[in-house]
Amino acid sequence: IYQGVQIGDNCHISHHAIIRSHTAIGHSCSIGTQCDVQESVVIGNYSRLHSGVFLAPGTTIGRYVWIGPRTTLTDDKHPPSTISAAPVVDDEAVLGAASTILPGVHIGRGVLIGAGSVVTKSIDQYMVAYGNPARPKGHVQTFSQHTPWMAHFTRGMPWEKIGYEAWKERQT
């Protein structure tokens, strides 16, 4: 962990993770083994990075985001260059294992990216996208009975004791 990193309360950072300077990690986050978080990254509260995730400099990750193992978010379309465009992942998105998010891509709120996908263009909120290149295939609720994922997963989440729906009502 480099100098100038801000880490919120109740975070778990696993073995051999690298977190570079000027990065801000919200509270109750999990950074898996061998993750490489470059400089000036922002990670929102309750987000999870599984093992081997790479986040390019300046990447923004929202709250309650799940990033599967060996996923890469890049910022340089034509390396090496001095022109970069960091990706943005909005709240509640899920990036499947070994997916690749290319420079400047914006992943909308609640999006589900299939494992192994290469995302070359921004994806609108609450869509499922997969493939190489990844293409939107429909709304998340048409693809999974487990959406939103927050309703089916409670461990370590703020709604753990009362359930997602009750927690959500208290937030409005």
The pLDDT of residue 168: 83
Q: What is the pLDDT of residue 147?
A: 67
**C-alpha distances in Å from residue 1, one per residue of 9, 21, 39, 51, 128:** 16, 8, 11, 16, 34
Please, what is the end-to-end C-alpha distance for the chain in angstroms?
A: 36
pTM, full prediction: 0.92
Give the pLDDT of residue 145. Answer: 66
Q: Give me the residues of the chain with pLDDT under 50, please.
A: none
HSE-CB at 18 with a 13 A cutoff on CA atoms is 12
Residue 74 tokens, joined: 């890049």
Question: Which pLDDT value is given to residue 146?
Answer: 65
